[in-house]
Amino acid sequence: MTNMSQQFSLKHRNVLITGATGYLGRAMASGLAEMGATVLINSRNRERAEEVVGKLRSEGLSALPAVFDVNDDDGVRQWFSQSIDFPLHGLVNNAYSGASGSIETASVDQYRDSYEVSVVSAHRLLQQALPGLKLAVKSCGHASVVNIGSMYGIVSPDQRVYQDKITANPPFYGAAKAALLQWTRYAACEFGNEGIRVNSISPGPFPSESIQLSNPGFVTALASKVPMGRIGQAAEVQGPLTFLISDASSFVNGANLVVDGGWTCW
C-alpha cells in the first residue's frame, strides 16, 4: 500500500525558489519548508533574503540564502558554481518584476523586460541547475521544476476591473506568462526521460496584503469575477506546489495546474 504522507514529504529535499521574498514567494518557501525541505531563498537583496531565512529558522525550519539576480548571466553562473555541489530536488521559477499598463500605454522595452525575467531567466536557471537536478535524479529517482505562470497567461484581464489603462494588468505580463507556459511544455518533453519533470502553476487573483488593505474596492471587484466568490490567499498556493515538487506527482509532467478559484472557467 502506498504511504501517502511519505509521498508528500519533502524531507531531505533541497528546493531553490526564485523571487522568494515576495508575497507568494514567502508562502511558497514556508509551505515547502514545513513539509521538510531545505529551501534556498533567492533574492537580489541579501537583507531581504536573510530576513526570510531568519524567520523560517526561528520556526525550526531549514533555509539558506541564495543571493543573485536571475537576469544576470554571470551572477547566476557564479552562484551555482560556488554554491550547488549537492542534489537539487526542486527548482521554482517564481521571479517577476514589472509595472502595470495597457497596449496603449506600454513601451516596447517593457515587453522585452517582462520576457527576460519570465522566460529567459527560467531558461538560464534550468540550464545552470541541471547538474544539481541530475544529482537529485541519481539520489532519489527524479527532480521537479515548477514555473509560476498566471491566469493572464491563459485569458486576458477584464479591463472593467481596473481603474484605468495605466493601472491595468499589462499585456506584456500576460504575453510573457503565456510564453512561459509553452516553454514549460518544451522543457517537460526534453527532460522527462531524464527523470526531471517540468510543470507550471497558474495562480489566479492573489492581490498582496498591501493591496488588500489599501484598495478594498478593487479586491471586491476581483472577487466578483471568481466562481468561488473570493480572492485567493497566499497559503493556498502551498498545497499545489508541494504536490508538484513531491513524489506524489511522480507521473505529472508538462501540466499546468490552475489555482484561480475557477476564474478561467467562465
Domain ranges across the chain:
4-261
Rounded to an integer, what distance in angstroms lies between the CA atom of residue 238 and that of residue 257?
12
Q: Which three cell numbers stand for residue 120?
A: 529567459
Read out DSSP for 36-77?
Answer: T-EEEEEES-HHHHHHHHHHHHHTT-EEEEEE--TT-HHHHH
- Cβ neighbours of residue 190 closer than 8 Å, sequence gap 6 or more: none
Rounded to an integer, what distance in angstroms lies between the CA atom of residue 142 and that of residue 156?
35
Rounded to an integer, what distance in angstroms lies between the CA atom of residue 98 and that of residue 101?
10
Q: Is the pTM of this model over 0.95?
A: yes
Which residue, 5, 9, 118, is CA-closest to 71? 118
Which residue, 92, 100, 262, is CA-closest to 173? 100
CATH topology of domain 4-261: Rossmann fold (3.40.50)
What pLDDT was estimated at residue 3?
85
Helix H, strand E, coil C: the string for 123-155 is HHHHHHHHHHHHHHHHHHCCEEEEEECCHHHCC
User: Which residue ranges of the chain lie beneath pLDDT 50?
Assistant: none
Label residue 170 left, alpha or beta by phi (over 0 means left) and psi (-120 to 50 means alpha): beta
Rounded to an integer, what distance in angstroms lies between the CA atom of residue 120 and that of residue 56?
29
Query: Residue 214 in contact with residue 225, Cβ under 8 Å?
Result: no
